[in-house]
Amino acid sequence: MSKDRLIIFDTTLRDGEQSPGASMTLEEKVRIAKTLEQMRVDVIEAGFPIASPGDFESVKAVAQAVKGSTVCGLSRSLDKDIERAGEALKPANSARIHTFIATSPIHMKEKLRMQPEDVLAQAVRAVKKSRQYTDDVEFSAEDAGRSELDFLCQIVEAAIDAGATTINIPDTVGYNIPHQFGELVRQLIERVPNSDKAVFSVHCHNDLGLAVGNSLASVLNGARQVECTINGLGERAGNAALEEVVMAVRTRQDVFDCDTNIDTSIIVPASRLVSSVTGFPVQPNKAIVGKNAFAHESGIHQDGVLKSRETYEIMRAQDVGWSDNKIVLGKHSGRSALKSRLEEIGIVLDGEEALNAAFSRFKDVADRKHEIFDEDLMAIAQESQASIEKARYHLVSSWVCSETGETPHAKVTLKIDGEEVVGESDGGGSVDAVFSAIKSIVSDHGTLELYSVNSITSGTDAQGEVTVRLEKGGRQVYGNGADPDIVIASAYAYLDALNKLALATDREHPQYSGV
Ligand code: KIV
Ligand code: ZN
């Protein structure tokens, strides 16, 4: 008997971007969207077009670039939001408008200041208006997890009658417990008379660490779409992690009567891409995509795995895109070897310019680090892509003098809007001197709140991966950089954050404003 399809709706670019500091540029969003498309994600929520001109352009660019997945835009239940979403989605092969309004007593009374009957009427109007742009309309009852079941049944029935093809039940504040949330979905499907005319979806937040558990309980009770994000990124404690939902369903096919269409071998490259674009590191013990997710430390476990992998492993690391950590390329490898290895690990570069930039960066790293692993290649691809994208500040060169008993001194040359500018400074250490030299050039630098270094592989010649967080006027941005020289990696990371800070930021938040 063939199984149902479980639709994977990825909202990394929308809810994921609502994580403080996780803002992404248009180019970064397109790159992530192309990776999600390659992973065969069914629906990509590309943003909230009314939020700002930048958000509108990003949704439009994703709609233009992605042809294999449905591209979705979020809108409140307001005409102006829906019109803007419809406009941004025009270039899409397959477009979805996702319109929402809050349905819980507390949200209706305190946030919307509306009566339930007016909320219902507005939901119906919004769905009908959305149907003027596309036949694929999703309606979300925001804070459904704390809504009254009778009202939820009424509004869901009315939304389906008005033309909604997907009904999303969000646990907006991550309040639910799996058996209870699964039961809510079951009751809705059973009680709403026209429930067979729509796909039921869930969207769970992770405030109690239960987002994946709640999503899976809903799937067991009839939900056939899960909304999730790469690495569980998202508002506050995040959303359900795509990789965990997909792998739970795939690994426990004895329990689930559905499966996704996801190419799981793209999971690790996608996780790495999202982590380096946003600057949010992945914790080592994170399921599926953490560095230690498949590492066996104890002797008993190692012995067991050597005798039979299944003794301690329920999934194969390669199936989710981990490589077996072999040396893959060296300094004599050519352009086509680089291109084909990148493709093998799920990284498709965007055109000749990107391949040229990646190759020159690869040569530079390979000269200093003789063994190049897949993890190095992922960082090289990310760094080189960032270098060709529209950015205000570029590192031309960095020189540091550091000697026992002497104050370190740095000289940095940046290219700013095409012109080379030189800055110099002393510092408490080499990194401090480089940052001060950069600050002597870039006045609009905010406050450094976090600086951390990780090594991408092992060995003293490993590439260092640096993350910095800057704060300015209540806004946080993360920057990332990688290089075998951690002082250079630090300069890249700092400039990455400064470039993000330089971007315009006026945008509305979908859930704090509007109706
Ligand atoms: O958490 C939530 O309720 C949302 C909606 C906009 C779907 O993100
Ligand atoms: Zn959400």
Ligand 2 center to residue 14 CA distance, Å?
9
Which residue out of 43, 236, 511, 515 has the highest number of ligand 1 atoms within 8 Å of its CB and is therefore the one to mutate?
A: 511
Strand positions, DSSP E, 92-163: 95-102, 137-142
Give strand pairing partners of 277. Answer: none
Q: Whose CA is nearest to atom 8 of ligand 1?
A: 15
Best probe residue, ligand 1, of 97, 100, 103 (max atoms within 8 Å of C-beta): 100
Residue 148, SS3 per DSSP: coil
Average of per-residue pLDDT values in the chain: 92
Q: pLDDT (tens digit, 9 = 90+) per residue, 85-137?
A: 999 999 999 999 999 999 999 999 999 999 999 999 999 999 999 999 999 99
Phi-psi label, residue 511: left if phi above 0, alpha if psi -120 to 50, beta otherwise: alpha
485 Cα to the center of ligand 1, angstroms: 42
Q: Which of 38, 60, 37 is nearest to 46 (CA)?
A: 60
Residue nearest to atom 1 of ligand 1 (CA): 172
- The DSSP-derived string for 417-472 is TTEEEEEEEE-SSHHHHHHHHHHHH-S---EEEEEEEEESSSSTTSPEEEEEEEEE
Pairing of strands 447-455, 464-472: antiparallel
What CATH class has 393-503?
A: alpha beta
Coil, helix or strand at residue 367: helix
Fold of 4-286: TIM Barrel (3.20.20)
Confirm if 366 and 331 have CB atoms less than 8 A apart.
yes
Map tokens 């946003």 to a residue: 278
Give which of 101, 96, 104, 102 is closest to 69, Cα–Cα: 96
Q: What residues contact residue 142 under an 8 Å CB cut-off, 6+ apart?
A: 100, 101, 102, 103, 104, 107, 170, 172, 511
> How do the domains of the chain map onto residue ranges?
4-286, 323-387, 393-503
The yes-or-no answer to whether 4-286 and 393-503 have a common fold is: no
Residues with CB under 6 A from ligand 1: 15, 100, 140, 142, 168, 170, 172, 203, 205, 510
Ligand 1 probe mutation, 77, 205, 515, most atoms within 8 A of CB: 205
Give the global pTM.
Answer: 0.88
pLDDT for the residue numbered 125: 98
The minimum-distance atom of ligand 1 relative to the CA of 168 is: 7
Report the distance separating Cα 274 and Cα 242, nearest Å: 12
Q: Which residue has the tokens 């809705």?
A: 188
Q: Which atom of ligand 1 is nearest to the CA of 170?
A: 3
Using alpha carbons, select from 82, 107, 510, 125 the residue that is nearest to residue 115: 107
Question: Which residue ranges of the chain lie beneath pLDDT 50?
Answer: none
Residue 318 CB neighbours (<10 A): 13
CB under 8 Å to 121, separation ≥6 — which residues? Answer: none
**Residue 329: beta bridge partners?**
372
Contact, 454 vs 464, CB < 8 A?
yes
pLDDT at position 297: 63
Q: Which residues surround ligand 2, an ion (CB under 5 A)?
A: 15
Helix (H, G, I), strand (E, B) or coil at 249: helix
Nearest alpha-carbon partner for 277 in 9, 19, 464, 8: 19
